[in-house]
Chain A
Amino acid sequence: MNAIESLKYFIPELVLLGGAFAALTLDFFIKQKKLVGEFSLLVIVLALCLVKPPTQSLPLFFGFFHLDAFAHFFRYLALGAVGVTILISLSYAPLKKRYAGEFYGLFLFMAFALILVATANNLLMIFLAVEFVSMLSYLLVGFLKNDPKSKEAAIKYLLFGSVCSAVMLYGMSFLYGVSGSLDLSVIGNALFYAPFKPLAIMAVLFFFVGLGFKISMAPFHMWAPDVYEGAPTPVTAFLTVAPKALGFAVLARVLVTAFGHFTNVWSPVLVILSILTMTLGNITAISQSNIKRFLAYSSIAQAGYILMGLAVFSLLGRDAILIYLLAYLLTNLGAFTVVLFVGGETQSDSLDAYAGLSKRSPTAAAMFTVFLLSLAGLPPLAGFIGKYYVFAAAIQGNFIMLAVVAAINSAIAAYYYFRVIRLMYLTPATGPAFPAPSKSLTTALWILFLGVLALGVFPSFFITRILG
């Protein structure tokens, strides 16, 4: 499909791009920066309304992008994540001092970039789209430029990210050398021939480095706690879900399309990495005393569970990734919304700030409890459905060892999630009650809370829509 024909399938993305530039321009003229945020929110809603499910797999722009049901799901995910992030950013105090307008503009670009990642079906496009997301992430992490922690996080992220991207690029060069093409399906066919096997193995491992960094897979997860701690809270919330989800999307696409013939090679590697990721994340999370670091390690562990779906490599495994990502997105954004609220009231991200939260703000405490329980994978909440899916995929594929390790990990995880719940409910309050959260925070909280509950109680509604 040529460029002109493709455009009509690309309208939401164009709206986003136009909106992003408009938001940057608006920033020059409008004093009330909150309006820019509300404008950006409007753009996201508009894009959401314009997104139409593709009836078949569409090779847009000469096959550079593939718009299929898989990519379509990630469009929703990306737009939803960006939308909620903008919504909660409206109540983020440190942002109000300056540059708020740019912040929202950058997020609209981010939404655009994420959709590119989801649809990219060509090595060049994949690299460019992933780098686009990375660049924006570096900027957003370092956004509070007077905060030394934020600066440190941005530099760390940049250095780590560049190295990983470079390694991935090196791997891509092998693939191009083998097949003479940048198109994933052509590469997949070329790799079918035996002599290329060693090269293909090298390439797949290099891909694991580059994308493993994005999804915070061990042993490439070291950046995550520092960056998540230092970044502005809404950005942290966003980084723990959206780029990670899209990282999984592109990893799944590459593995299926280009390396589909080498399952027996990369599947065991992923099993080991999955076990390593969840175990490291869970064990380290136990001893954290900063809520953002705490959730950072928890999100590393969650990545380990999602990797199970990929490692199993079956139809059910693919479904598991999608469902888990949706559940994780709702839950983690919800948890960070509470973190943002409490952080705003106490000026602290320390776990101690949560002592007696059930007294100081009963609603926030109750919702945080629900989000933490969902992260722990307890029914009838969203996280359970996700966990159920990955466990089912593992059992169906006869990966018993993996399933057992994941079960033990879940029990460990419950321990540290309950540490926070204990603080909120069983420890006496250290200060007076909080005022009610702002309107935007309340809206975000309720949307996410109801989402977590709905996905847990009526999963079939979501499953039908996601998987068809």
Chain B
Amino acid sequence: MTSHILSWIVFTPLIGAVVVLFVPKSVTHWIKWVALLTTGIVMALTCYALTIFQTAQAGFQMVERASWIPQFGVQYLLGTDGISFPMVFLTAIISLVACLASFPHVRVKEGREKEYYFLYLLLETGMMGTFLALDLFLFYVLWEVVLVPMYFLIGIWGGPRREYAAIKFFLYTLAGSLFMLLGILGVYFAAEPHTFDMTQLVGMPRSLLFQQVVFMAFFLGFAIKVPIFPFHTWLPDAHVEAPTPISVILAGVLLKMGTYGFLRFSYPLFPEATHWFQPAMAVLAILGIIYGGFVALAQTDFKKMVAYSSVSHMGFVLLGLAALNANGFRGAMLQMFTHGTITGGLFLLVGVLYDRAHTRDLNDFGGLGAKMPSYAGILTFFALASLGLPGLSGFISEFLALLGSYQYSKVVTGLSTIGIILAAAYLLYMVQRVLLGKLNPKWAGLSDIKTPEVLTLVPLMILILGIGVYPRIILDYMIPTLDGLLKAIKV
């Protein structure tokens, strides 16, 4: 099993999904336990992989290779390194937490549980595979596998505008990824010998024009997923309409697939184009940070506010990517991880409140701090983490990203810090409107957060606090790979 650990991580959820399909009608209540067990096993497998992961090694580890379509040289090629492993870990933990959060979700409970957990587990296979595939063809297949379950999960169990949100998400992402497919084919035919194998493709010489064209094709696919500023319009719809656990997955994992794509594919394959695109990337990062921040500030819908704060925070990932130096990359990578945990937690908290009050209108709340003290404490914790309070993980990652960008351009850094101020503004304004002030008599009957709900948040809080206090527990895994990448793309 040791030699196939990555395959087990990718396909255990699929096995679980098939098991779910065959659970007989009479014992429907088993389904959620099967799902929880499956995500639990995946988490355990990931922890096991963590123990055999060699932190000091820069190259790919635990590589699995088998021929899949020999006519095109397509391989079943999995492998992990300091860029993908944190993402795999994040996926495992977010999937587990979101699965637990699905249990009490009212729309999931209404029936069709079998479909829900089947799609949910299928989704996990797609996400894991996307982060572990090292063959471009395999990567594309798994990248697309994520789309269809997501469409159904938003479309069937979502809020009032779910149909619109689901198809918008689907079409945006599909359109982007089709261009990526053309780019992948371009890379394939330009390589001598023709191959999809990332380990061979890196370092092959490519002309600048070719790099620029194909970089843009990949960019469309990744930028829509992140989402980068002009392509972000699907995000508020999808995040708001999706049921809570799925919003958590969307914010926690799916957005990272885009930035992961840059680090894993675009940068090492097209180093010259990466440098050519650096200023544009920086501008897009600033746009995202400031625009997302201002729009978040203007929201009255709690969930929409968190959704737009995602646009702003993902901007810091792009900022780190645009810096093209050690600190920037570390910041970007760490921000991908911390944003997943913090924003995932915030979406869970929105869900907790919505399940009780059936509204998300920020102006409608007030004074809940006294009514729901535990909830208030946890919400404040996540809000502070999100706005970058020192001692919590958000601070470390944003600081590193800004440090990196400072070495690249002072103007860019200066403008980006506006985002931090905005984050403080919209998050504290939210805390004020929800927790402080006079209690709206409507909410006198609200009960405090319950243990199962706290359980979904505790793992995330541990990670946030742990990384915030001692970031090396995660940075040590990333640094050798990131430094290797930096050396590889030096022009």
Contact = CB atoms under 8 A, between A and B. Distances in A.
Interface stretch (B150-158, B274-282, B304-312): B150-158
Contact of B155 (A379, A380, A425, A459): A425
A378 interface: yes
Interface string B63-74: 000001111100
Contacts of B156: 425-426
B182 A422 contact: no
Contacts of A422: 155, 163, 167
Which of B72, B170, B174 counts the most chain A CB atoms within 10 A? Answer: B174
Nearest to A358: B115
B430 to A, nearest CB: 32
Q: What's the interface size class on A, roughly?
A: 20 to 34
A415 B167 contact: yes
B284 interface: no
B171 A415 contact: yes
Contacts of A1: none
B107 to A, nearest CB: 13
A263 to B, nearest CB: 20
Given A411-B171, A411-B175, A403 B71 contact: no
Contacts of B71: 460, 463-464, 467
A418 B174 CA distance: 12
Given A395-B189, A422-B163, A379 B170 contact: no
Interface stretch (B40-48, B138-146, B319-327): B138-146
Interface residues of B, number: 32
A462 to B, nearest CB: 10
A417 to B, nearest CB: 11
Contacts of B152: 425
Contact of A378 (B68, B148, B182, B188): B148
Interface in A361-380: 373, 378-380
Contact of A414 (B140, B162, B171, B188): B171
A395 B194 CA distance: 13
B7 to A, nearest CB: 15
A384 B141 CA distance: 9
Nearest to B178: A407
Given A408-B175, A426-B155, A460 B182 contact: no
B185 interface: yes
Nearest to B142: A379
B186 interface: yes
A411 B178 contact: yes
B253 to A, nearest CB: 19
B20 to A, nearest CB: 14
Interface string A412-437: 00110010001001100000000000
Nearest to B154: A426
Given A425-B152, A425-B156, A460 B181 contact: no
Interface in B125-173: 140-141, 144-145, 147-148, 151-152, 155-156, 162-163, 166-167, 170-171
A463 B70 CA distance: 10
A372 to B, nearest CB: 11
A426 B158 CA distance: 10
Interface in B431-462: none
A375 to B, nearest CB: 13
Nearest to A461: B69
Interface string B337-373: 0000000000000000000000000000000000000
A119 interface: no
A410 interface: yes
Contacts of B115: 358
B144 A391 contact: no
B179 interface: yes
A467 B179 CA distance: 28
A392 B185 contact: yes
A380 to B, nearest CB: 5
A379 B147 CA distance: 10
A45 interface: no
A418 B151 contact: yes
A404 interface: yes
A396 interface: yes
Which of B68, B170, B179, B182 counts the most chain A CB atoms within 10 A? Answer: B182
Contacts of A378: 144, 147-148
Given A380-B141, A426-B162, A460-B69, A414 B186 contact: no
A341 B82 CA distance: 52
Interface string B171-215: 100110011011001101100000000000000000000000000
A426 B163 contact: yes
Contacts of B189: 392, 395-396
A410 B178 contact: yes
Contacts of A459: 69
Contacts of A373: 148
Interface string A425-467: 1100000000000000000000000000000000110011001
A284 B322 CA distance: 43
Which of A378, A404, A426 counts the most chain B CB atoms within 10 A? Answer: A426
A414 B95 CA distance: 28
Contacts of A379: 140-141, 144-145
Which of A396, A411, A415 counts the most chain B CB atoms within 10 A? Answer: A411
Given A414-B170, A414-B171, A460 B163 contact: no
A408 B188 CA distance: 21
A418 B141 contact: no
B171 A407 contact: no
A380 B144 CA distance: 8
Contact of A407 (B140, B148, B179): B179
Nearest to B67: A460
Nearest to B183: A395
5 pairs of A and B residues whose beta carbons are closest in the complex: A407-B178, A379-B141, A411-B175, A395-B185, A460-B69
8 contacts: A380-B141, A380-B145, A392-B188, A400-B182, A410-B174, A415-B171, A425-B156, A426-B156
Given A400-B182, A426-B156, 14 more contacts: A379-B140, A380-B141, A391-B182, A392-B188, A395-B185, A395-B186, A407-B175, A408-B175, A410-B174, A410-B178, A415-B167, A422-B155, A422-B163, A426-B166
